[in-house]
Amino acid sequence: MGNIISGGITAVPCIKAAAVSCGIKGDKKDLAVVYSEVPLVSAAVFTTNLVKAAPVLVSQRNIKEKVTRAVVVNSGNANACSGLRGLKDAERMAALTAEYLKLCPGEILVSSTGVIGQFLPMEKVEKGIKMAVENLTEEGGSDSAEAILTTDTVKKEIAYRFMLAGKTVTLGAMAKGSGMICPNMATMLAFITTDVKISKELLQKALQESVKCSYNLITVDGDTSTNDMVLLLANGQAENPEITEEGEDYQAFLEALNYVNKAMARQIILDGEGTTKLIEVTLQGFKDYDTGRKLVMGILNSNLVKTAFFGEDANWGRIITAMGYSSSNFCPEKVDIFLGDLQVMKEGVGLIFDEASAKEILSHKEVKVFIDLKEGKDKITAWGSDLSHQYVTINSSYRT
């Protein structure tokens, strides 16, 4: 077990960051640079959307390099569906960051978030990159977490310290996400730094495994964006024996990484657009991960389920119905469903229950649902939100 500490993404030794307001979002912070004083190995998971923004294309190429040194990210403009000009602008962001840091463009990863279909105001962006590089500091993590937000209402960051092979290892993270949250990776941006010493290949494997049990199990609205990415950067300064195989040290690192990513995933759902409740669904008794994921995400993506939770209506029939059209095979006659600690279905049949008790359970900010299929040993937990009037209001006027 480890401990949560302060510092966010710059809690990791040799990591510096800075955030500035360059004018994309008026006087709000809208551009950040995260930089490692020493070379990093990096891993990434990108959007599965067929339509990929220019910064995703550039980062997909640059992540293949052996060494990464910095990330530049802007908010307020997605640089998506922007054609050849957009691609050149994303490459320009990498080249300028590299120039000011005296690095190679291939050592820079690029990320953007915001409105789709608009060209970046590059004169502002260029000035912003220069200002950010000039102001890099070990205390810049929190400002950077602010600079990457769009419709988010709060910053999302965490730092976590734990012991690995007798050495102190730190993980720092920041993320953004509020709407368009239904990843098949992640409809969001997340940046994670660590000082663990690990091979690039195992870093990538750890990230992919961790995404499966965190960002791939959250949903607000069923939409996947064009700019999604999770970046994991490791600079090896913890001086632990390098992790090059899937042994005890790898598992310890993966456990810590899962803790951080699940914490960030929950923060995203709690700040979901118009969200009044976080719904946590735990499913057990299924045979494989794909079956479990389809079932829990089918429940959490159902508008009827989401509106029932918003209205604090214990309409469990919507849950079993969503399971039934999820394209996963299970035996309905075996299913038990609980809202909190209140059982509402037993072996496929509805139970008589106290409506007042059910409403009290559903009135909480966080509501837990437990479902047992009784067909296997696997267990999975996913997180979603309700669907409120405010969600419609926010997304009906996003561009204006």
pLDDT in tens, 211-244: 999 998 888 655 567 888 999 999 999 999 999 9
How do residues 336-386 score in pLDDT, each as one tens digit? 999 999 999 999 999 999 999 999 999 999 999 999 999 998 999 999 988
Residue intervals of the chain classified under CATH 3.10.20.340 are 278-396
Q: Which residues contact 49 (CB under 8 A, 6 or more apart)?
A: 224, 225, 226, 228
What is the C-alpha separation between 296 and 61, in angstroms, rounded?
Answer: 34
| Whole-prediction pTM | 0.90
* 84 in Cβ contact with 114 (< 8 Å): no
What is the C-alpha separation between 209 and 345, in angstroms, rounded?
Answer: 33
What is the C-alpha separation between 133 and 32, in angstroms, rounded?
Answer: 9
Is 10 catalytic? The answer is no
Is CATH 3.40.50.150 the right assignment for the domain spanning 278-396? Answer: no
Q: Which CATH superfamily is domain 3-270 in?
A: L-amino peptidase D-ALA esterase/amidase (3.60.70.12)
pLDDT at 164: 97
Q: Please determine, for residue 201, whether its predicted confidence score (pLDDT) is greater than 80.
A: yes
Residue intervals of the chain classified under CATH 3.60.70.12 are 3-270
* Residue given tokens 């990498």 in the structure block: 94
Q: Of the residues 47, 113, 187, 193, which is catalytic?
A: 187
